[in-house]
Structure 1
Amino acid sequence: MRVLPAIDLMNGDIVRLTQGDFSRKSRYSVSPVEAVQRWKEVGFSMVHIVSLDGAKDGTSLYQDIFPAIVREGVDIQFGGGIRSVEQIGRYFELGVRRVIVGTHAVSSDSFWGEAVERFGSDRLVLALDIKDGFVATNGWAVTSDQTFGQAIERIGIDLVKHVLVTDIRRDGGLSGIDVGFYRDLLEAYPGLNMIPAGGVTGAEDLERLEEIGVREVVVGKALYERPEIIDVIRRNNYLG
């Protein structure tokens, strides 16, 4: 299993939201490039970057920062506000390794299939953020009437390889992972690379996720506010 350190961007700053609430955010005084440099020094092989502005309303897609970030030599997984196949292609041109799509994949009947046809499923990550059992979109501001299963079946499970699953209730709260939630999804969809996000607090969460078969996990606030977790990640070889 490998850990992907999270960098969430809002108004140009690195922030972490609590339970997806834009009014409850922690701001960190480090630039995106400096953060990537820090995670590279630790030894992480991939960094997870999200534009919260983009996820919410499709603005601030931060294309200008990627030349400097990609030069650091770490693989980047980016999402937030991607609304077209052309935008996906642009991020690949900038050197991004994997692109995340959530809102538009859920709301459009054809978008995901078109993206997979053009780029292949290996470099695309479907984001399904779950709130009270249903998929939330538009930066978690809108809750749809689709469950995880309904959304992925409609999109086409054969077209999906990676799924980023955020448990919104746990995100940014340092409250611990709901392992049962992810275990149920892995048992129902064993062929997917299920990437949990939201709630990791320390060694126990990471070890329990590894035990149930998780191959990648996004960790955010714990890395910024509980730096001792880095020792756990190194000791257990979660750097990737």
Structure 2
Amino acid sequence: TGAKWKNRRRIITPAFHDKELLNNFVDIYNEQSAVLVQRLASLKSEKEVNLYPYIASCALDIICEAAMGLNIGAQHDRNSQYVDAVLKLTDILLKRQRMPWLWPDLIFKILPQGRAHDRYLKIVHQFTKKVIDDRAQAFHADEIRQKRSAFLDLLLKQMHDEQLTLVDIQEEVDTFMFEGHDTTAAAINFTCFMIASHPEVQKKLHDEVDRVFGNDHDRSSTTE
């Protein structure tokens, strides 16, 4: 409902103004992007390559660590059941959006796509529920201070003040994760395609990176 959305937005908005949390996010971007670069460097350059699976895995690693404080290792094929469920669930949802005859739940639920949707959704919910339960226990035991803060920690801090339940928190984490990884991956993939289609622009970007980083290719990016 509108009232529910408005209340959740009020609770969540401060997370995107928390400097420490945002700096943690930048560290995650750097670490996971380095893994992506290593994976792309191992590809054969003389062949056409579909970058989307590589970018999507990187985006999923970033968004899950930023949202839940957990490195799921999608780029290293760890937690493969969860990663596979997320990717297949995303594919089903995108196809359903493009097929109006699948919009009615009554029809969708009896079709193979609908049954697969429910099966993958159950896997995702079980995984995030376990992560949230474990993080909540660590939070109450004051074990989070030694760990990198995540979006989930902000919600746990406000759990009592804002009368949030663990189910409420799971809804927000799932939304943050789903909405974040696919849209970001699609945008980056299209950007890479456009850059590759315009070599003169690619050269300008390469020159700018060289001016900023010089020969220090391992230097991390910052928020500046």
Q: What TM-score, normalized to structure 1?
A: 0.24
Identify which of structures 1 and 2 has the higher relative contact order when contacts are C-alpha pairs closer than 8 Å and 6+ apart. 2
Of Structure 1 and Structure 2, which has the larger fraction of its residues in strand? 1
Question: Highest Rg: 1 or 2?
Answer: 2
Of Structure 1 and Structure 2, which has the larger fraction of its residues in helix? 2
Q: What TM-score, normalized to structure 2?
A: 0.26
